[in-house]
Amino acid sequence: MTKWIVSVVLLLNGVHSFACLEKLNSSLLYKSFEEKQEILKKLKKKDMACLFEESRWNEKPRLSFFLPPKKRQAMRVQKFFGVNSFPIFKAFEKHFFTIDTLEGDKIFGYNKSKIEFLGGPGFFEVKTNEENGDIYIDYGEDFKSIIPIEKFNAWKGRSVSKIKNNKRSIVYGGGLKDNLHQLNDKMVIGRGFKITKTLKKNKTVGYFVLLKK
């Protein structure tokens, strides 16, 4: 009851609490990449939900965060270590690359995980919401038509060789999208969601944290 009263008072006064975010960033300070991985693996769903809520006040991530100029020039995918909020198969990776499409230069990616047998690599496109500038991930495009295979094969460091759509995917199908918030200069947090057909509401399906390699 006391915590609830304090939160209401802070909200009414325009002061935002960053307890989860500050705790995480403090725990990662001066840690190696491997040590950071182990810390992130211990995050629970409630921790990620708290981090996502607090980080909405942070500066929005930029497209260049997911694929820096050096990676573009070298034609090498940018890899991120990831941890999701699911009870099993928590660790995964997201790999980002860019393709010059008929609609211009776009950033795409796919997932590398132990659940590829269920839903494939989960190709996606990184997009910007034109209304508010938010960055989000969309798994619903026709990637086999958008991404020329010869251009995809030119990227170094790939872990998949075939482009697949997610229409029939158990994991990435059904209109899945991810909202993204910046945690720090090396990390973002995502909230996976789907729009329910009956209520037309935004339903959370899980969270994940990405750490740039």
State the number of CA atoms in the 13 A half-sphere of 3 facing the CB.
2
pLDDT in tens, 181-202: 999 999 999 999 998 776 567 8
Question: Hey, what amino acid is at 62?
Answer: R
- If DSSP states are collapsed to H, E and C, what string results for 171-184? CCCCCCEEEEEEEE
Considering only CA atoms, which of 29, 30, 21, 28 is closest in space to residue 48?
A: 21
Residue 72 has pLDDT above 50, yes or no: yes
pLDDT in tens, 73-113: 999 999 999 999 999 999 999 999 999 988 889 999 999 99
Residue 61 has pLDDT above 60, yes or no: yes
pLDDT on residue 17: 56
Contact of 96 with 78, CB cutoff 8 Å: yes
pLDDT in tens, 15-59: 455 789 999 999 999 999 999 999 999 999 999 999 999 999 999
What is the chain's length?
213
Handedness of CA 157, 159, 28, 98 (dihedral sign): positive
Q: Which residue in the block uniquely carries the two structure tokens 């995502």? A: 190
Handedness of CA 147, 195, 193, 68 (dihedral sign): positive
pLDDT on residue 192: 97
pLDDT in tens, 111-161: 999 989 888 999 999 999 999 999 999 999 999 999 999 999 999 999 999
Residue 17: both structure tokens together: 């609490």
Cα pseudo-dihedral 100, 154, 95, 30, rounded to 10: -110
The span from the CA of 196 to the CA of 182, in Å, is 26
Give the pTM: 0.89
Residue 130: both structure tokens together: 């034109």
pLDDT on residue 22: 95
The span from the CA of 201 to the CA of 144, in Å, is 29
The span from the CA of 177 to the CA of 52, in Å, is 15
Residue 149: both structure tokens together: 């295979």
DSSP 193: E
